[in-house]
Amino acid sequence: MRPGLPSGTSLLVSFARGLGVDKQQIDPVAPQLLPPVLAQLAAAPRHLGEAARLYRAAVRATTFGLIDHVVLRTQVIDAHLASALHSGIDQLVILGAGLDARGWRLEALKDVTVFELDHPATQRYKRRRMSQKRPPADIRYVSVDFERERFANALEAAGFRSGAPSAWIWEGVAMYLPLDAVHDTLGQLTSLAAPGSELAMTYRVPGLFPYGPLGRVAIPVVFAAAGEPLKATLQPDELASAFAPDWEVTFDEDSRGWRTLTGSSANASRSFLSERLAVVKRRS
Ligand SMILES: C[S@@+](CC[C@H](N)C(=O)[O-])C[C@H]1O[C@@H](n2cnc3c(N)ncnc32)[C@H](O)[C@@H]1O
């Protein structure tokens, strides 16, 4: 992370959601969260008429699949969240929330308490940007550095009920942490999540970048330049072992499976096949 500055990768993924792959608005709140230049670039298609398609195609082609990837990721996690809420869960914890706008854009969260945990600098930036906007959800902020601090006590002090089932989202964060911080966070989560709780978490498997050798070299460089070098990787069986025996893995797919589940118009073959989404459920 760049000292005192909001996470660069959180700006990139919010931009991708704000732009989208076609007219469907994935994240209408993104332009309110982004710095002015990125906000204008994300909202540009609305003013470009016929040229909007060309503009989007150019951005999609020159950002190494980021736009298609993030659109698919948002849609598949939204789908899993909707089914968790359907089961009556009324508290959501978003770990490494960045500029995640679910608390503002999802009406389904209107009776849900949303706990946003993030690195202090990114959270400060987001709170400043959103101070005048009234979200449907009851949003509570907890700042934490996953590499240095434990969050369990602060989360409970903010009103989290560990006796009741909860939904958790850990989207696009674990790959920027050292492996021991990933395991430590999973341990804390297990101590807080009641039976019936669900976690949707993305993680990175080694290799598998789009755009061949160019992507293999350029993509890690882009993340490092944003101040967030890629770190932890896990194989699916290692992740399943990390969750055993308390959690059951109910879904574990890369973006091709996300597209099948959502019917998205984003192109999975352009996306990062190295990132997978695991959905796990806390056993009784
Ligand atoms: C790629 S962004 C993803 C943000 C959000 N989950 C989303 O998908 O829009 C990565 C997020 O991880 C957070 N992060 C990275 N390292 C962290 C750390 N050591 N402690 C807390 N948060 C961290 C950043 O602040 C940032 O919000």
Give CA–CA dist 200/169, Å, rounded.
5
- List the single range of 75-84, 112-121, 202-211 with lowest mean pLDDT: 202-211
- Pocket perturbation via mutation, ligand 1, pick of 27, 173, 179 by most ligand atoms within 8 A of CB: 173
CA angle at residue 22 from 20 to 25, to 5 degrees? 55
Cis-peptide into 245, omega within 30 deg: yes
Nearest residue (by CA) to ligand 1, atom 7, is 100
3-state secondary structure of 115: strand
Cβ of residue 172 lying under 6 Å from some atom of ligand 1:
yes
Atom from ligand 1 closest to the CA of residue 12: 1
DSSP state of 193: P
**CA neighbours closer than 13 Å in the CB half-sphere of residue 80:** 28
Position 225 pLDDT exceeds 90: no
Q: How far is the CA of 54 from the centre of ligand 1 (A)?
A: 31
- Measured CA to CA, the distance from residue 1 to residue 226 in angstroms comes to 8
Containing structural domain, residue 98: 71-282
Q: Ligand 1: which of 7, 92, 151 to mutate, most ligand atoms within 8 Å of CB? A: 7
Ligand 1 pocket residue status of 97, Cβ below 6 Å: yes
Res 195 pLDDT > 80? yes
Ligand 1 atom at minimal distance to the Cα of residue 6: 25
Q: Is 27 in the pocket of ligand 1 (CB under 6 A)?
A: no
For ligand 1, is residue 171 a contact (CB within 6 Å)?
yes
Q: What is the CA radius of gyration of the chain?
A: 18
pLDDT tens-digit series, residues 60-105: 998 888 999 999 999 999 999 999 999 999 999 999 999 999 999 9
Nearest by Cα to 236 from 203, 187, 273: 203
- Protein residue with its CA nearest to atom 26 in ligand 1: 98
| Residues above pLDDT 70, as percent of the chain | 99
Distance CA(168)–CA(247), nearest Å, equals: 13
Helix (H) and strand (E) counts in the chain:
12, 7
Q: Report the nearest atom of ligand 1 relative to the CA of 17.
A: 9
User: Is 253 in contact with 9 (CB distance < 8 Å)?
Assistant: no
Query: Is residue 68 a contact partner of residue 266, using CB atoms and an 8 Å limit?
Result: yes
Q: Residue 85's domain is classified under what CATH number?
A: 3.40.50.150
Task: Count other Cβ atoms within 10 Å, centred on residue 68.
Answer: 26
> 18 in ligand 1 pocket by Cβ < 6 Å?
no
The answer to whether residue 21 is domain-embedded is: no
Reported as a single tens digit per residue, the pLDDT across 141-180 is: 999 999 999 999 999 999 999 999 999 999 999 999 999 9
Question: For residue 100, how far is its CA from the centre of ligand 1 (angstroms)?
Answer: 10
Specify if 182 maps to a domain: yes
Q: Does 178 reside within a domain?
A: yes
Dihedral class, residue 142 (left if φ above 0, else alpha if ψ from -120 to 50, else beta): beta
Does residue 98 belong to any structural domain of this protein? yes
Number of domains forming the structure of the chain: 1
Mutate to test the pocket of ligand 1, among 10, 29, 105, 145 (most ligand atoms within 8 A of CB): 10
Look at residue 17 and tell me if it is in a domain.
no
Q: Which pLDDT does position 208 carry in this prediction?
A: 67
241 in any annotated domain: yes
Determine the atom of ligand 1 nearest the C-alpha atom of 74.
Answer: 8
Report the sign of the C-alpha dihedral through residues 191, 165, 76, 38, in that order.
negative
**pLDDT at position 211 over 80:** no
> Is 23 within a domain?
no
Query: Looking at the domain assignment, is residue 266 inside a domain?
Result: yes
User: Which atom of ligand 1 is nearest the CA belonging to 9?
Assistant: 1
Q: How many residues does the chain have?
A: 284
